[in-house]
A and B are shown apart, each in its own frame.
Chain A
Amino acid sequence: MLGGGILKGLAVTARNVVEGFVSKERLTTVQYPEERVPQVEATRDFPFLVFDGEDPMAGLRCVACQICEKECPPKCIYIDKSSDKKPDATGKPQFYPARFDIDISVCMSCQICVEVCPFEAIKMDVEFELSTNDRFGGLLYDKHKLAKSNEYYNHVHPTEAAAVDTKLAVERAKAAARAAAATQPKPAAVSPAPESGAQA
């Protein structure tokens, strides 16, 4: 019958209006900025540098290996290696970045820098309300602005941070065990053959 399809359409629309008043399933608007969508854990927005401990610069995990700078597709990371070394979390002296800038107006949040970093030093942040009036300087983040603590990392990405912490703890324990074994006084190297056999 002519008009039947139109009436069915009108019925669907009317149902949507009525249900929109009673159920949150229909009217899914989140009135930003008063309400916010809860943050999903895996969200990635722009990178940040992780530091352990209290002092941001001393505890930075980054050793300026410049792998992330090379792998970044739009080349938005600028690193200057330092000329001296400072001890890292295991006490071993490492280079550190004298300058670590990320231009977030270029960054496309692809997370490749995070994937290739061997030291778990750079991770993805979840902040997106970063607008500023300063078009050029305001969007170029230096290492002071990028450094955030490990507690913060645990706060925004709990599962991922827990896995990273476990892995780092294991590595550090191994490194510490190796260091302890190295500093122990070696047994007297008088009997060659069984010793070398045991040490091999």
Chain B
Amino acid sequence: MNTELLGVPPDTITRREVIYDQEGETLEISMGPHHPSTHGVFRMDVRLEGERIVRLKPVIGYLHRNHEKIAEGTTYLGSIPYTDRLDYFCSLTNNWAYCMAVEQLAGFEVPDRAQYLRVILSELTRLQNHASAVGFLVQDMGASGTPIMYAFREREKILDLFEALTGSRMMCNYMRFGGCRVDLPAGWIDQLKALMKTLPAFLEEFEKLLVSNEILMARTQGVGVLSAKLAVNAGVTGPMLRATGVNYDLRKVDGYGFYPRFEFKVPLGEHGDVYDRYMIRVLEMRESVKILNQAIEQLPEGPIIDPKAKLRGFRPKPGESYGRLEAPKGELGFYLISDGSPNPYRYRVRPPSFVNLTILEDMCLGANIADAVIILGSVDIVLGEVDR
């Protein structure tokens, strides 16, 4: 994006002050909560000058469900099904982050097999989330649904695996404090291995359909550029941050859940535009396949839950904890304060989509109105998480 056109030096942290003062005839439209672009109930108040956006205000809260307040009235165990519904695409990573926070509070130890299972399920979640995110992005561009149907065909296979193990396709409710709920049923590993064989072929086909497509490149390269400095200052995490070139992946930084035992690389972008974010997700899918193959091989036998962990009457010692992990959308964190009672005293979610959304305006200023939809798609938000 040409910052010189806006009369702004390229190193400024934010361009908002300069733009708001401009005069001229502006058209104000509201891309309302009912959106054809499928990201949930989200509203953007956009002020246009001709085709260019001069101001964009995101309005959220249409899906607020009092998740944090409900958690203060429910036991720790009873909050686990509610965490499924935060980022409803990736319920298993939500569960894991919450269980991590509680395990830190209570001092539970997770056995090896449970950790491997958690890693396997988390990487499967990442695969299906990135597949559908890429599909949604291309659909926003008007590809009339073809790539998204291919992505969802593969996602169905992953969801079938989830159903066979946890009993539900999306609201998995599988992790428990100190491990996992049930062990693998017979034949699950074979089903997973069969899926791992077919998935690289699907990724190849997907890339061939999209990567060298000139129209896609023209629509996404140079659009919605985010600088690394602004991203770090705004607290952006996840594929958006890595697309700007900052090497920050919690799986490598924190090394939670036995991730240091697996060999995988972290792809980094350079330009921070929509094309980079989209390609980073595709490359991360390939890395997830690698991790999955290694985890399947190394899966040990053993118990799947800490014997110290109790289901009922669980009262952790007073204290606070913060459990975070690399969810497919960024850093997902749960901050818990316990006062010794069965319910948490304070329960706070740090949702990645919410924090990533704060710089939407900076990315969209000066762009065409048709690009705003694509930029929003590349942030990859889920309103369940943004509004809680």
Contact = CB atoms under 8 A, between A and B. Distances in A.
Contacts of A43: 163, 167-168
Give the top 4 A-B pairs by smallest Cβ distance, nearest first. A5-B212, A110-B81, A73-B78, A44-B167
A42 B210 contact: no
Contacts of B166: 42
B247 interface: no
Contacts of A112: 77-78, 81
A28 B153 contact: yes
A193 interface: no
Contact of B215 (A6, A41, A116, A159): A6
Chain B residues touching A, range? 35 or more
A189 interface: no
A67 interface: yes
A116 B312 contact: yes
Contact of A6 (B150, B181, B214): B214
B377 to A, nearest CB: 19
Contact of B82 (A8, A13, A73): A73
B77 A2 contact: no
A140 B283 CA distance: 49
Contact of A115 (B75, B153, B311): B311
A40 B211 contact: no
Given A9-B213, A71-B312, A111-B173, A44 B150 contact: no
B208 interface: yes
Nearest to B215: A6
A1 to B, nearest CB: 10
B209 A73 contact: no
Interface string A10-21: 001100100000
Given A9-B209, A112-B77, A115-B311, A40 B156 contact: no
A5 B208 CA distance: 8
A148 B171 CA distance: 25
Interface in A26-47: 26, 28, 40-44
Interface of B: 74-75, 77-82, 146, 150, 153, 156, 160, 163-168, 171, 173, 181-182, 185-186, 205, 208-217, 311-312
A192 interface: no
Interface residues of A, number: 30
Contacts of B150: 16
Nearest to B166: A42
Given A12-B208, A28-B153, A110-B173, A67 B79 contact: no
B211 A5 contact: yes
A91 interface: no
A8 B204 CA distance: 12
Given A42-B185, A108-B171, 11 more contacts: A5-B211, A6-B214, A8-B213, A9-B208, A16-B150, A28-B153, A40-B164, A71-B312, A110-B80, A110-B171, A116-B312
11 contacts: A3-B214, A5-B211, A5-B214, A6-B215, A9-B209, A12-B208, A71-B77, A71-B312, A73-B78, A111-B173, A112-B81
B212 A4 contact: yes
Nearest to A16: B150
Contact of A111 (B75, B167, B208): B167
A122 interface: no
B165 to A, nearest CB: 7
A9 B146 CA distance: 11
Contact of B311 (A72, A110, A116): A116
A73 B173 CA distance: 12
A124 interface: yes
Contact of B212 (A8, A44, A116): A8
A166 interface: no
Nearest to A42: B167
A73 B73 CA distance: 9
Contacts of B82: 73
A105 interface: no
A44 B311 contact: no
B185 A159 contact: yes
A72, A110, A124 pick with most chain B CB within 10 angstroms: A110
Nearest to B146: A13
B208 A124 contact: no
